[in-house]
Structure 1
């Protein structure tokens, strides 16, 4: 494609949806973007939202916030190695999970069901809504419309993992619907603005870096949490029945991205590596070995992507739509194996747990009671949105916005106060 020289960011990349008065030149526009996300209430709330195990399960497990910080560190270094502006990548990584509701993906599925008639619910589309509408920072003085954090075009676009709406979502490799999309119908105006000049359905390089950093971080760290929590012993990959179980769950959860023989070969590479920790007794020595394994795996996956991308595009700085991230199939396979391990031994078993079903009931109950008693049940910002809503569908979207903003703890507390049922105990695995 034609355009500016490789490695440059243009004035259009630095544009903001709502014009702002000139700021001091001590910080770049992208540094401001990162700071706005870092100081946002939405980011703070991630500290009490589920990653894999619920907050408070024990003192070791990751919350959605600690996961986000780890993704940002991995993404920043990976992007910097390729020549991306590190603050653009860092901002995208910090933002990538802001839209996740209480109880992780369990809560996301519950909200998707109750919002099916108004365009559904998807955590990534909710992230865009937070960044451009819900998180209070900037209000357009000309229209009175909230502009969210009013990030630059480059940072907003980098935060969009799925650059399409629900009706345009592609299928997974196995032909099943992915259910993943990045924008609701009533946010298409700002979406069209941030996507100006972007190829349809394509992500910018910074978004691809963010996505890989997310995959690398949670695949490695979910396994680490599972080992420390006694839910998984990595020696299981030595057993053929266990490998078959991991294959089955990987196909069920992630579709047919790769052939089974590629995944089996990846299992063999991982378990043959001297870094693979087969025994874990909880001692400092064992914890250090496990941490060394996770650190080396992160470096291994990132180095492979950097080398493959550089082999394709050369040594200059790479940005935006002037390059694509290249991830070797072997690296993808090893990441998928780690995901499959966490699914098989942590996430899939949770499906039958009563508390897991109870969490969905909490979300469903809250949407119903908040909607029935609105606007009295809404926080002031959402009550104002409800008052301005044009119809019942728009009012339901406001209710969904309110419930999605809650943490695991506050959702349970709201449920006790509004529905008067016993609150759920600590959350089970919910990725």
Structure 2
């Protein structure tokens, strides 16, 4: 969030920083520190220095880093933008900014190569071994796969973040078997249950803490405006088509289908009209600096609009209650949800659901499936050393398949292509 859209104090003094308890700063493996940094500042630093965060620079957001478009956002730049929005939301709501910042930086660590498309391939291959879900993989990375701390028995404890920060990174606080009806999203695998239940001590079942809700909203805001911006700049969306009323009803219907029935056609149509009435809405795009500035200012306007509406509604609802952890919930007005859904749905309709993109998506899934099968056939022979050790320690077939999934999920888009070329493609004689 740039200086043009810094969230104001809403006409009054900033809320007092919420209280965090001793349990909130506990770590799965106890640690003793010296120095002036707070426990939450230390968490954020560990995330910033993690290999998982660095790998996000070469992982797909909407357009793959391998597509040759050098300005499009990747998972790392997206995560940095989410963290900037989340940090300012946290300050305005009286939450610890380092907790929310760290959660925003971690929220996409579990994404495999090729984004949600790659997620589909891994979920299908691992369906008989606990499945795959990017958010559950994030918890696994933070508590197991990143190397920082170990238990007394020699088991990896990952980055060993505080309970509050770890819980703030969890969008879906349930397992695959506990997921609400109709939801494919879940937050932990069965063999990560111990650390998940430690993290959730004292938390209401299936309820996200306020910090996780703030991270989730920040992700939605960043996703909606920045992917829309990238789609325009890369010529996937022509503003002239959006402005034309011809085909408008069909577009709104496509957005409604993408949103999964969460909004009526009237709600989405009215949300679209409100967005299109904003001063910096583009009616055409020629790539000039004037149009670049107008598009950038449009995204800034939308970020500020979404954030201010959520802050105002939350503070009005929470009254004097402290928001920290489970003191109260974030409130986002329905019309704001609808406006965010419109921007996300437009990108889905023009980019992700575009017929010209489907062969690419299909080949990406095939590439990952072939790589998974090849690695499984060779057992631990082609795995990186850390994953070879995990494979050797696996107690059953499901655990061994999970290691193969961990290895492939850890790859970037380009390294997945390179591994596939090296291991799966038959060389010409």
Offset at residue 6 of structure 1 (A): 8.5
Q: Does 1:345 align with 2:350?
A: yes
Q: Does 1:111 align with 2:122?
A: yes
Partners of 2:258 and 2:249 in 1: how far apart? Answer: 14
Offset at residue 315 of structure 1 (A): 5.8
Give the 3-state SS of the residue equivalent to 2:65 in structure 1: coil
Give the 3-state SS of the residue equivalent to 2:160 in structure 1: coil
Deviation per residue, 1:87-126 (Å, 9 max, x gap): 0000100000000000111100000000000111000000
List structure 1 runs of 4+ shifted beyond 4 angstroms. Answer: none
Partners of 2:243 and 2:357 in 1: how far apart? Answer: 27
Partners of 2:376 and 2:248 in 1: how far apart? Answer: 46
Answer whether contact 1:220 1:338 (CA < 8 A) is retained: yes
For structure 1, the residue ranges without an aligned partner over 5 or more in a row are 172-176, 423-431
Deviation per residue, 1:9-41 (Å, 9 max, x gap): 000000001112x11141000001000110000
**Residue 174 (structure 1) aligns with:** none
Which of 33, 52, 66 matches 1:42?
52
Which of 64, 69, 78 matches 1:58?
69
Deviation per residue, 1:39-81 (Å, 9 max, x gap): 0000000000000101143121001110010000001111111
Partners of 1:287 and 1:316 in 2: how far apart? Answer: 42
Aligned residues: 411
Which of 136, 145, 148 matches 1:137?
148
Which of 196, 204, 208 matches 1:199?
204
**Residue 125 (structure 1) aligns with:** 136
Give the 3-state SS of the residue equivalent to 1:217 in structure 2: helix
Offset at residue 280 of structure 1 (A): 1.4
Answer whether contact 2:256 2:263 (CA < 8 A) is retained: no
Matches within 5 A, 1:203-282: 203-282=208-287
Offset at residue 375 of structure 1 (A): 1.1
- Normalised by the length of structure 2, the TM-score is 0.93
Which of 155, 169, 172 matches 1:159?
169
**Residue 429 (structure 1) aligns with:** none
- Normalised by the length of structure 1, the TM-score is 0.92
Which of 373, 381, 384 matches 1:376?
381
Answer whether contact 2:267 2:338 (CA < 8 A) is retained: yes
Residue 333 to residue 93, structure 1, CA distance change in 2 (3 Å): same
Give the 3-state SS of the residue equivalent to 1:58 in structure 2: coil
